Structure 1
């Protein structure tokens, strides 16, 4: 075949492709117009009380007919129907992983699991080089905060995690009364009732009361997520931070160690990071307490 013939063949193919695209666009535009007209008609009729829209309404029928027409037109034109591209699931995968992490943190704890958690915490405390001690805590609520089963199980898992305060020699046991501290999940408006220093925006500790603000429990803070954190890691941080006060620590007692370094646990990470990365666990330099409780 000569170059001229090849050029003519190529032009014919391009024209056919253009015609097919034109036909498809016309069908899509016509179908959209039909749907719009039918939708307006159904809506108008319903608004004056003439009809209610059943599940097999005219709009649904129009959708079906339009789909059939589109497939027929594609087949008759010879155009290939291309399957829609797969969506990027990275965002959904990340959300699913974060939800699984959250669910695992607050999952129900049976007796065997509780014994395992305490055993790991005790071993960590005994190997910490500190005097092993046990802090008892009660779980409470204040205001409308809903069910606290997951809250209680989260507190138990966090406080007895070998990455946390057991490294400073402290283990934690939930009790019904006579507790060293009471860990309360409170509605935001209840925080100032503990002290004028407590804000409706953040969690707080007053004496033996560790008060977790439900607003933060449910939503953390924006910059936590912006820096790669999850709600599960925020809950871990806020429990460890507020209980850290009961162990003798104060806010911001240690400055950020430098750009990109893990933030000290007792830094007010809910308010600022100062160049540090988010961190839910006490640093090695924070592994001390002024708490002297019962021996482990």
Structure 2
């Protein structure tokens, strides 16, 4: 989302813990992104494992995951062909935690890339480009689909197990939100998933939180729509009608729903 105690204190440095983080969704932090988190034991093997095959069925019908995963990953291949365009190139990797069943990494990566390559996405202004690279290649950030417990480890903020976040070079998407969405969102799950991706990637690109610009208007993509729309309507896109769509800077003091448990298949 929108955007804890860490299970691996060596993976999150003091500089990240001092970063300004709003509830459930990290604000942009300067500096180079951290390396992908590694688990112990068989972790190195896990991160290079071949991705599961893509299936044609809808993912949500058979998805299962524990409340706390093992912080091991399936990494996606690079997109081909890579998009063209102008502006600064941002390279990103995509990974799915191995404990999540029913969402193949290739399928998830394809949905993420479709969102980021949308004509009304972050590249619409012509000032930047986004390109998915392979798991073993250098990148400016990594998009993770994670269990609720691993969300807390990677985000390094107040642990809630519910929201998503951006922490340094980590764009962390909570699988519970990916599968279930949020109550009273007023739009399809597909729209909410696009919002998740664009909101958290927006933080990595330097965007802060925004508020609803007026009752009945679309919510800015940088509004914390996971926690409330505040009179706006759901919107997943950074650009509308060819123009960057934004609201007043700031966030709401919305409560975060209870921690998520795992989901059985």
TM tier, smaller: 0.5 to 0.7
* Structure 1 residue matching 2:184: 3-state secondary structure: helix
The higher relative CO (CA closer than 8 Å, separation ≥ 6) is in 2
Pick closer, same or farther for the CA change 1:135–1:148 going to 2, 3 Å: same
Match of 2:184 in 1: 223
- The one of 89, 99, 110 aligned to 1:134: 89
Where in structure 2 are the equivalents of 1:160-199 lying within 5 Å? 160-168=117-125, 169-176=127-134, 177-194=137-154, 195-199=156-160
* Structure 1 residue matching 2:216: 3-state secondary structure: coil
Match of 1:247 in 2: 205
Match of 1:144 in 2: 99
Q: Which has the larger radius of gyration?
A: 1
Pick closer, same or farther for the CA change 1:238–1:277 going to 2, 3 Å: same
TM-score relative to the length of structure 2 = 0.57
* Structure 1 residue matching 2:177: 3-state secondary structure: helix
Shift of 1:114: 4.7
Shift of 1:199: 2.7
Measure the CA separation in 1 of the matches of 2:173 and 2:159: 11
1:211-245 deviations in whole A, cap 9, x for unaligned?
11000001110211xx2x11111111100000000
Is the 1:205–1:245 Cα contact (8 Å) retained in structure 2? yes
TM-score relative to the length of structure 1 = 0.51
1:166-224 deviations in whole A, cap 9, x for unaligned?
12322211112211000000011111112133531011110000011000001110211
Shift of 1:286: 4.3
Match of 1:232 in 2: 190
Measure the CA separation in 2 of the matches of 1:157 and 1:133: 19
Q: Which has the higher helix share?
A: 1
Is the 1:221–1:270 Cα contact (8 Å) retained in structure 2? yes
Measure the CA separation in 2 of the matches of 1:142 and 1:207: 19
Q: Which has the higher strand share?
A: 2
Shift of 1:162: 1.1
* Structure 2 residue matching 1:118: 3-state secondary structure: coil
Which 5+ residue runs of structure 2 have no aligned equivalent? 1-56, 61-77, 248-265
Pick closer, same or farther for the CA change 1:136–1:156 going to 2, 3 Å: same
| Alignment partner of 1:153 is 2:114 | no
Match of 1:118 in 2: 83
Which 5+ residue runs of structure 1 have no aligned equivalent? 1-98, 103-110, 127-131, 288-296
Moved over 4 A (4+): none
Q: What is the count of residue pairs matched by the alignment?
A: 164
